[in-house]
Structure 1
């Protein structure tokens, strides 16, 4: 993933080296990047995935291009992460996932990031659809997906599936 710039955000590839530093601690991540990490970064759910992602991207480095961090330009702060889970599947679909720390939520950043990622993703070779999913109870994510043009495909086990 190239650096993707929006009005308020920069989206940057989250390298294996950066992931390893994140597991050590926020200060370590700041030492190897030009960015500071928000106090709440990474969220616990994402932190639990990092060891798996490190192993996966070490074994399949080409998949790492689909994983990124969200930088707040004004603060130069890592405020979240996003990515397409493994790149396009055999149908040309990529599944978007993201998280933003609480102190940066409610300001439209997820919407801004989603628009940028969808635009970039749909320009990639062999990609013709972007999908996403969220819990029925995750009202902020539902609003983001609706505002960015996603359509509900189905609901299953309290999870809503979307595509654009």
Structure 2
């Protein structure tokens, strides 16, 4: 299994069976990955998002890493602390879209910045990737800061969101 190893984190893509476990019972996923069992349960919204990722992984078994959820585990606690989604294989323009979240107890420690720096480096190692995109709600200032720290630049906005990009 692919694992991106940073100073404090392990970041790993969920395959089809991992996503199925995650949707049915998050603790079973933690057990399967050898992580500390938490009280985490996916919300209905999260389950819906994970089901979309599962469908995309089923449709793209060879390149599933580009369509799945990547789990962020804090090494020191061997514990799930967040996730990053890569939402597509590079488009014709070389664009990839990401989304992310971190458990509230682990915010403001630069964990997401560390994880995104490593995962964007991995993505840019694919010669087809030219640009990584993300969006944030306009009022999510901490998320804006994370994206700025990894070098993303705001390039567009709509009524709810700012859109960010990082070029190779």
Partner SS for 1:62: coil
CA distance, structure 2, for counterparts of residue 126 and residue 156 of structure 1: 28
| Alignment gaps of 5+ in structure 1 | none
Assess, with a 3 A threshold, how the Cα gap between structure 1 residues 157 and 37 changes in structure 2: closer, same or farther: farther
Q: Could you state the TM-score of these two structures normalised by the residue count of structure 1?
A: 0.90
Assess, with a 3 A threshold, how the Cα gap between structure 1 residues 105 and 132 changes in structure 2: closer, same or farther: same
| Alignment gaps of 5+ in structure 2 | none
Alignment partner of 1:99 is 2:101: yes
Assess, with a 3 A threshold, how the Cα gap between structure 1 residues 140 and 79 changes in structure 2: closer, same or farther: same
CA distance, structure 1, for counterparts of residue 42 and residue 127 of structure 2: 30
Q: Could you state the TM-score of these two structures normalised by the residue count of structure 2?
A: 0.88
1:47 is displaced (CA, Å) by: 2.4
Assess, with a 3 A threshold, how the Cα gap between structure 1 residues 92 and 46 changes in structure 2: closer, same or farther: same
Partner SS for 2:151: coil
1:38 is displaced (CA, Å) by: 4.0
**Partner of 2:17 in structure 1?**
17
**Partner of 1:62 in structure 2?**
62
Two-structure CA RMSD over aligned residues (Å): 1.8
Alignment of structure 1 residues 74-89 onto 2, 5 Å: 74-89=76-91
Partner SS for 1:61: coil
